[in-house]
Structure 1
Amino acid sequence: MAKAMARHILVRTEAEAAQLKQRLAKGEDFASLARKHSICPSAKRGGDLGEVRPGQMVRAIDQVIFRKPLRDIHGPVKTQFGYHLVQTFYRD
């Protein structure tokens, strides 16, 4: 069965997600920004979602993790929880 390793930052607004994405593009540390800004419990782990399998996440996030290029930061992706920035760094 397919699996991946991913991390994300979850915020309340699209504007906040876009601002964080710009900061990441300038080289700021993903884990540090996740710890400081993410409203998800994964913030304590720098946004690390651990090993993920298809169907474990909401559909929009699942599609990013299993279909988008590795290592790129994708988003903002809107879900019922807020806006996500998602990075997948391993997939098989």
Structure 2
Amino acid sequence: MPIACARHILVKSKAEAEKLKQQLAQGADFGQLAKKHSQCNSARQGGNLGEFRPGQMVKAFDNVVFKKPVLTVHGPIKTQFGFHLIETIYRD
């Protein structure tokens, strides 16, 4: 079964997620933005969620982490928690 490690930034609005994604595209540090803006408890670790397997996260999140390119920021992805910017660090 595959395993992956990802980090994310969770915010309340799509507009806020788009704004943060623009900052990332201009070279902002993902971890620093996560610490400052993310609503998730993982913000303290720069958005790092550690390792997990398919099915441990909500479906929309899993689809990005296990199917989209690694080391690319994807999003905004909407879930019941809000809007995510997701970066898969590695996947085996």
Same fold (TM over 0.5): yes
Find the counterpart in structure 2 of residue 16 from structure 1: 16
Structure 1 residue 84 displacement after superposition: 0.1
1:62-88 Cα distance to aligned partner (Å, 9 max, x none): 000000000110000000000000000
Q: How many residues align?
A: 92
Runs (5+) with no aligned partner, structure 1: none
Match of 1:8, SS?
strand
TM-score by length of 1: 0.99
Deviating above 6 A after TM superposition, structure 1's stretches of 4 or more consecutive aligned residues are: none
Runs (5+) with no aligned partner, structure 2: none
Find the counterpart in structure 1 of residue 83 from structure 2: 83
Alignment of 1:1-92 (within 5 A): 1-92=1-92
Identity of aligned residues (%): 63
AA paired with 2:54? P
- 2:28 and 2:85 map into 1 onto residues whose CA distance is 14
